[in-house]
Amino acid sequence: MQLYRDKEIDIELSLPDKYNKQDKKKALSKFYRDKINPDDDNDHDFVFLEKQLHKFLKRAVLRFISKDYSNVVLLVGAGASVVTNENGNINSNYGKTMQDISWNIFNQLYGTNNLEEYLDEKDAKIFLPKDQQEKFEKVNFDDESTWFSFPLEEYISNLNLYIQDAEMSGKKVRNPSLSQAKKLKRFILLSILDSVDYNFDSTSKMPFKHDKVILKLLNLIHSDSSKLMVATINYDLAIEKSLEKDNFTIFDGFEFGNNKEFNDDMYEWVLSKEVNNINTKQVIYKKHVIDLLKIHGSINWIEKENKVTKSTVEEVKSTIRDNSNHVKMIFPSSNKYAQSYEEPYFDLMSRFQNKLHQPNTLLVTSGFSFGDNHISRMIINAIKHNSSLDCLITDYNIHNFDKKTEQEDVNDNWSDLDDLRDRGYNIAFLKATMCSYNYDLSYYVG
C-alpha cells in the first residue's frame, strides 16, 4: 500500500491483497521496528502503532512543505467531498463521485428501477457507444462485480448530438422523439444536480473538513496581503458551507450586495484597514480571506440577460425543468473542454494557470483524479516550467506507478507526474482524504 513518496522518500505499508485488521497490525508493527524504533521489542496495540505511522508520515509531509510560500493553491476534486466514518465506510449522503452519479442514472434508465416514462430500454441504449451496448446487457444491478464504467460523457454527448441534429434538420424523429430525448436530458441534468445538492442540517455537525485544511494552508503563506486560492471542479457548495461558520471572507468572482453578478475583477481586491500608531499608520489585512474559483461552475449559478449571477439551487433546477439553457455548469460531455473557453470559465482557468506559474508557489490537490486532461496538462506544464512550484498530490487512491503492473486505473497523467518526481521535480504523493474520520488531510499539513 503506497502511503507517501517524494523525490527522496518512499513510504509503503506491505499488506496482502486481501487483509484484515490483524494483518494490518502485523504490517504496522514491522514498519514501526524497521523505520521508527528498531530497539523497541514491546508488543504495542493497534492504536499506538497506527499513531506512530501517521506521525512518521506527517513529519515527511511537513519536511516537504517547510517553506514560507508566496502563493498557495488548493485544487479540490470530487473525492474531497467524500465523507467517511470511523470504520472507513463512505457516508452515501455526501461526496458523490461522477462514477457514483453515472451509475445512479444508468440504474434508473436500465436497472430494476427503470424509469419507463423517459425512454424504454431499447430506445435509451442508442446513446451508448456502439461497442459498449452489448456489454451493458449483461449487467446484473444486484451484483456490483458485473458493473462497468458507465460512459456518462459519451452518453450525454450522443444525446446532445441527437437533439441538435433533430432541431437543425427540422425533421420529425421517432424512437425516441425529440420531446422524449429532451425529457431524458432534463432527467440526467436534474439527477446530477440532485446528487450534489447536499442537505445541510444547521443543528448537526458539519460533515466537511475543508475549513480545517484551508486554515492550515493559510498559515503557509508568508505575505499578509496574499490570499489562498481554492480552485474546484465540483458543483457542490461544500467549501462555502464548510467556511460559513468560521468568519471567512470568500471572493468567488461575484459582486457583493444584491446584484451578485460575476465580475472577474473582484479577485483583485483584498480587505485591509489602517491602524493608527503613535508615529505612523500601519495597514493590516483581514485574515481568513480566500479566492474561490469554481472552474466548472456551480449548482447556484445561472445566466440572466447574458450575465452570470448567483441564485438559489431551486431556481437553477426550475430552468432545467423549463428546458431553458441558462444553467452555468460544465456538464460531462465530449465538448466540456470547448466549454471551458467560454465565460466565466475561461477567466477562472486563466487565473488558476497564472497562479501556478508564480514564484514560490505550493499546489495541494485533494480528491482530484487527474482524469480531466485539460487541467492535468496545465499542472504538468507548470511543473516543468516553474522550478519553484511544489506539488503535494493527495488522494485516497495513491497508485502504484510501476507501469509494468499495467493497472487499468492508472492514467497517463499520474504516470507522467511520477516520472517528473523521479527526475527530481518537487512533487510528493500522499494517501489522504479531506473528510476522513481520522488522520484527514488537515492533520498532515500543519
Instruction: Looking at the structure, tell me whether residues 102 and 226 fall in a common domain.
Output: no
Answer yes or no: is 112 within a domain: yes
Instruction: Looking at the structure, tell me whether residues 17 and 130 fall in a common domain.
Output: no
Domain boundary among 196, 227, 242: 196
Answer yes or no: is 322 within a domain: no
Highest mean pLDDT of the ranges 95-109, 151-165, 210-224, 314-328: 210-224
What percentage of residues in the chain have a pLDDT greater than 70? Answer: 88
Task: Write down the pLDDT at residue 391.
Answer: 98
CATH number for the domain harbouring residue 73: 3.40.50
Encode pLDDT of 234-253 as tens digits.
999 999 999 987 889 999 99
Q: What is the pTM of this model?
A: 0.90
Task: Write down the pLDDT at residue 404.
Answer: 43
Three state DSSP letters for the chain: CEEEECCCCEEECCCCCCCCHHHHHHHHHHHHHHHHCCCCCCCCCHHHHHHHHHHHHHHHHHHHCCCCECEEEEEECHHHHCEECCCCCECCCCCCCHHHHHHHHHHHHHCCCCCCCCCCHHHHHHHCCHHHHHHHHCCCCCCHHHCCCCCHHHHHHHHHHHHHHHHHHCCCCCCCCHHHHHHHHHHHHHHHHHHHCCCCCCCCCCCCCHHHHHHHHHCCECCCCCCEEEEECCCCCHHHHHHCCCCCEEECCECCCCCCEECHHHHHCCCEEEEECCCCEEEEECCCEEEEEECCEEEEEEEECCEEEECCHHHHHHHHHCCCCCEEECCCCCCHHHHCCCCCHHHHHHHHHHHHCCCCEEEEEECCCCCCHHHHHHHHHHHHHCCCEEEEEEECCCCCCCHHHCCCCCCHHHHHHHHHHHCCCCEEEEECCCECCCCCHHHHCC
Task: Write down the pLDDT at residue 346.
Answer: 92
Instruction: Looking at the structure, tell me whether residues 15 and 47 fall in a common domain.
Output: yes
Domain boundary among 196, 225, 250: 196
Whether 230 has a pLDDT exceeding 80, the answer reads yes
Whether 17 has a pLDDT exceeding 80, the answer reads no
- Please tell me the total count of domains within the chain: 3
Mean pLDDT value of segment 193-213 = 85
Answer yes or no: is 76 within a domain: yes
Answer yes or no: is 330 within a domain: no
Mean pLDDT value of segment 194-215 = 85
Instruction: Looking at the structure, tell me whether residues 153 and 227 fall in a common domain.
Output: no
Instruction: Looking at the structure, tell me whether residues 238 and 347 fall in a common domain.
Output: yes
Instruction: Looking at the structure, tell me whether residues 49 and 79 fall in a common domain.
Output: no
Task: Write down the pLDDT at residue 28.
Answer: 95
Task: Write down the pLDDT at residue 173.
Answer: 82
Whether 325 has a pLDDT exceeding 80, the answer reads no
Answer yes or no: is 377 within a domain: yes
Instruction: Looking at the structure, tell me whether residues 254 and 174 fall in a common domain.
Output: no
Is the CB of residue 352 less than 8 Å from the CB of residue 71? no
Answer yes or no: is 370 within a domain: yes
Answer yes or no: is 247 within a domain: yes
Task: Write down the pLDDT at residue 170.
Answer: 82
Answer yes or no: is 317 within a domain: no
Task: Write down the pLDDT at residue 403.
Answer: 47
Binned at pLDDT 50, 70 and 90, residue 15 comes out as: confident
Task: Write down the pLDDT at residue 298.
Answer: 94
Instruction: Looking at the structure, tell me whether residues 52 and 81 fall in a common domain.
Output: no
- Which range of residues forms the domain containing residue 131? 98-196
Binned at pLDDT 50, 70 and 90, residue 116 comes out as: low
Encode pLDDT of 67-84 as tens digits.
999 999 999 998 899 998
Quote the mean pLDDT of the chain.
Answer: 86
